[in-house]
Chains A and B, each alone.
Chain A
């Protein structure tokens, strides 16, 4: 039964992913949420691995997620299903529709579809960026408010028994420092990566490839956790 679901979901992705790898990311995210097999953090790890291992990102990601849902068989089935629509569409295209590729109306329709898809990709990238930061920021604010409340309690309880509240505040303050550190680390890595992209382009007149960016991210992650 689970295989039937995999077949349906990945056939859909294969059929609707105009423009290659990045378009499949939001769709795969939907699937992961539907099956509840991975958290968003793990999915982002998978995306990074898919980008830095051989083969098209879309295929790597399909194999990964299929594997997660239904084992090795699931991985193979998901991959085949994602490939099948593209395969058949090209065959049909080459046989019957090759002459329409220069058609004005087809071109115009595609020029409408493409920006919409770019918008979807952008929203997903932004969402991912925020998901690295947001849980910690909201946690941080929550704890900070909590400390204020507890402090008011101390004023009221004053001489009766404030040690319990003081202990709680101490514990919260430690958590607060921890979250603050994670947020700072995120911001530093972001600035470093963007700066590196910019300098690389300015100095070497080439764009920093995805793989080099990912390697840079890994080095920064290790370095910053080592230093701070």
Chain B
């Protein structure tokens, strides 16, 4: 069982390109449809937990499935399985990437890639914002929070000061807790 968990998640780690969200459908296919380790409802629960806890979604899913199937050891094996392909592939790439980047055609390609990546990130942020706004009961508050956090970083960049992202995330968490408390008080 442990070995099967390890191999399955190693495969998932190795064959999903494009990060956590791409992995969701692969995990569903492997663990729900084929191996029947989880049923559909459990999988949706898992998604909710993965999205609302910190850490890469892929890790959350591997740990959860591993735990459900094989308790603590299962979680360990599944998580190692999903991480190992990354470590191997990236370690190999970073060994020779700097030499390769000196070749003209490669550096030309990366010139275009850098522009493409920044567009991808902006687009992802737009999509996430649209989802947030459409699901939220407090649409204006959502947009305001988004704008404030984006602007704080932009302005501090322009002023040449660096605000640590970690501190910003802490502030966001604090805000979440305070506003949530305030709301529940008002209800009582």
Are the chains A and B members of one assembly?
yes
Some 15 contacts from A to B, beta carbons below 8 A apart, are A45-B114, A58-B19, A58-B20, A85-B54, A90-B63, A98-B49, A112-B175, A115-B149, A120-B165, A121-B128, A122-B125, A126-B122, A128-B118, A185-B111, A209-B18
Chain A residue, CB-CB nearest to B64: A90
Q: Count A-B pairs with CB separation below 8 Å.
A: 375
Interface string of B123-154 (1 = CB under 8 A from A): 11110110010011010011101111111111
A residues in contact with B129, CB < 8 Å:
115, 118, 122
CB pair A90–B176 under 8 Å, yes or no, is: no
Establish whether residues B148 and A112, one from each chain, have CB atoms under 8 Å apart when the complex forms. Answer: no
A96 to B60, CA, bound (A): 16
Contact assessment for A30 and B19 in the assembled complex, using a CB-CB cutoff below 8 Å: no
* Chain A residues, CB < 8 A from B153: 26, 119-120, 123-124, 127
- Total interface residues on B, CB under 8 Å, equals 101
Query: Which residues 88-115 in A have Cβ within 8 Å of B in the complex?
Result: 89-91, 93-94, 98, 101, 104-106, 108-115
Point out the residue from B45, B85, B87, B168 that lies within 8 Å of A75, measured CB to CB: B87
Q: Which positions in B face A, CB cutoff 8 Å?
A: 13-21, 23, 45, 48-49, 51-60, 63-64, 67-68, 72, 75, 79, 82-83, 85-87, 89-91, 93-94, 97, 101, 104-105, 108-126, 128-129, 132, 135-136, 138, 141-143, 145-154, 157, 162, 164-166, 168-173, 175-177, 179-181, 183-184
Please count how many residues in chain A sit with their CB below 8 Å of the partner chain's CB atoms: 104
Residues of A within 8 A of B (CB): 12-27, 29-30, 33, 41, 44-45, 47-60, 63-64, 67-68, 72, 75-76, 79, 82-83, 85-87, 89-91, 93-94, 98, 101, 104-106, 108-129, 132, 185-186, 189-190, 193-194, 197, 209-211, 213-214, 216-222, 224-226
